[in-house]
Amino acid sequence: MTQQAEGSPQITLHDRLCQLLDGPAPLDKRALLGRLHAEITSRETRAYTAGWNDALAESRRPTQ
């Protein structure tokens, strides 16, 4: 799985799945499922972290 630096453009999940399915080397079912699981878990973790960061930033704003 490729690690992308923070702030770098994110490839869509659809495009990443196409890359995995149409890549130069065919993957067996177990390898493909493993790669898909890793990709989705990574994206879920980043989304979860971003949500918490947003919530923390919102809670630190002074109320008016």
The pLDDT, as a whole number, for residue 9 is 64
Overall pTM surpassing 0.75 (yes/no): no
Give how far Cα 63 sits from Cα of 40, 58, 59, 60, Å: 36, 10, 9, 9
- Rounded to whole angstroms, the maximal C-alpha distance in the chain is 58
At residue 26, the pLDDT reads 73
| Distance separating alpha carbons of residues 12 and 28, to the nearest angstrom | 23
Q: What angle do CA 43, 58, 10 make, to 5 degrees?
A: 25
Domain extents in the chain: 13-60
Q: What is the pLDDT of residue 64?
A: 64
Q: Give residue-wise pLDDT tens across range 3-61.
A: 444 444 688 888 888 887 888 877 788 888 888 899 889 989 988 888 888 888 888 87
Token pair belonging to 4: 């992308």
